[in-house]
Chain A
């Protein structure tokens, strides 16, 4: 039975690439995303075509018990979850306070913070009993800095970062490596940035900053760092790492 890498939020960007990269390392990748069954199946098939193993599941992280039930089913049917990747975004673009609805703020918190709490509540007891496990949490500039128009996103991601810290404080010495991964820049990800901008603007951005310019973060390369973090020896663990394109402005200079 292969150990499992469970990815919550597996689009064609970081989530899908991280899943594929861990599958190449010998894990069974479980890809979970909210919608687009065709896209999900294509990613799972791409992994299988490389001779690695993967399964795909539609999962709405906001629904009660969706994460908890998926964790239990994967453990029962597929294998032990050694690596859990929480990769749900909550970016809704810049909105002034008066245009940030209560619902938008609450949804941001549910995706940004509460979903990670639920994943951790489900997997930490399993990992603790086995004495090992890794929880890789994708995060954003907004976890470090509340920029204008980011009310919902910054609160959600700030909560995510500090939740990672309290999880680390409780579980590192029990063998669970929690990592807060600060993605401090725009990712070349069609399912998130691409959808937020629309196809035309996304292509313009790719032409201007992406492609050979390497100014958009390339998820296949981001995945290399995720694997390195998961493979770090317990005598030298990293809790937090910041990643950005070489040409980008770091969060502390915004």
Chain B
């Protein structure tokens, strides 16, 4: 039915993935799935000594890096080190929420300007820095079997779609990230770099020590009513594997019972 089947859907060169922003949720699930699929995995966090990240190193051989992703020099050094240690990057996930203690649930007249600025720097500005370095590295890559030089995925949130009350700083940060992703997609996709914005429009329930899944504020997941990071990771991998003749830009993920 199509002449395209002869070309493989699987990248041939070994993929190297960097996940910026590491914790027990999406980043851990991505690290596991990417490693299971033959990628070398690096994971960067302000504090790379968290037990969950040490565990990824022990079980998957994931490399851990310390990085304040809102610091331009720090991000530049991170990319240099990862490329030196693991090789040219083909998949970068920006996975930072960015909200700081004290900015949650603040009305517009109560929000501390310094904390709002810190949130923007942690989230949208760090996405800019990570995107900039990722683009610079990937431009030098040779296209893989899908015609792609690499994939840059931005984890985003409901606030990318709508500004909720008492959430001004986060709404600014998420919508800025969406705008950045759109602009980068327009610039980089014709150059062979796939850019995707993935708003997770729900609470994410990550696996607890007793095997249940739960969210810090929303409680325990019941009947798949929270997004499961293991399945979010599957969509990230699928985005990375899409052929360049049919790339998705924005993929919103939400549980079946979520109201929106």
Contacts and interface: CB of A to CB of B under 8 A. Distances in A.
Contacts of B242: 221, 224-225, 243
Interface in B129-168: 147-148
B60 interface: no
Interface in B216-230: 221, 224-228
Contacts of A12: 1
A102 B1 CA distance: 35
B119 to A, nearest CB: 25
A236 B2 contact: no
Interface stretch (B66-74, B81-89, B97-105, B252-260): B252-260
Contact of A214 (B200, B226, B243, B256): B243
A-side interface mostly: mixed
B256 A243 contact: no
Contacts of A244: 246-247, 249
A34 to B, nearest CB: 18
A16 B5 CA distance: 14
Contacts of B185: 250
A188 B243 CA distance: 14
Contacts of B57: none
A159 B232 CA distance: 30
A46 B5 CA distance: 14
A71 interface: no
Contact of A245 (B205, B244, B254): B244
Nearest to B244: A246
A219 B249 contact: no
Contacts of A240: 252
Contacts, number: 132
A238 B235 contact: yes
A222 B226 contact: no
A161 interface: no
Contacts of A214: 147, 243-245
Contacts of B182: 250, 252
Given A173-B256, A232-B231, A243 B9 contact: no
Contacts of A238: 235, 251-253
User: Which of the four size classes fits the interface of chain B?
Assistant: 35 or more
B108 interface: no
A172 B4 contact: no
Interface in A33-59: 43, 46
B238 A220 contact: no
Nearest to B6: A220
A236 B246 contact: no
B52 interface: no
Given A224-B9, A246-B147, A247-B190, A237 B256 contact: yes
Contact of A220 (B1, B221, B244): B1
B77 interface: no
A238 to B, nearest CB: 5
B246 A245 contact: yes
Contacts of A245: 244-247
A243 B189 CA distance: 12
Contacts of A70: none
B83 to A, nearest CB: 23
Interface of B: 1-5, 9, 147-148, 182, 185-186, 189-190, 192, 194, 200, 205, 221, 224-228, 231-232, 234-235, 238, 241-258
Interface of A: 12, 16-17, 20, 43, 46, 172-173, 175, 177, 188, 211, 214-222, 224-225, 228, 232-247, 249-250, 252-253
Given A222-B246, A239-B252, 4 more contacts: A234-B255, A236-B235, A244-B247, A250-B249
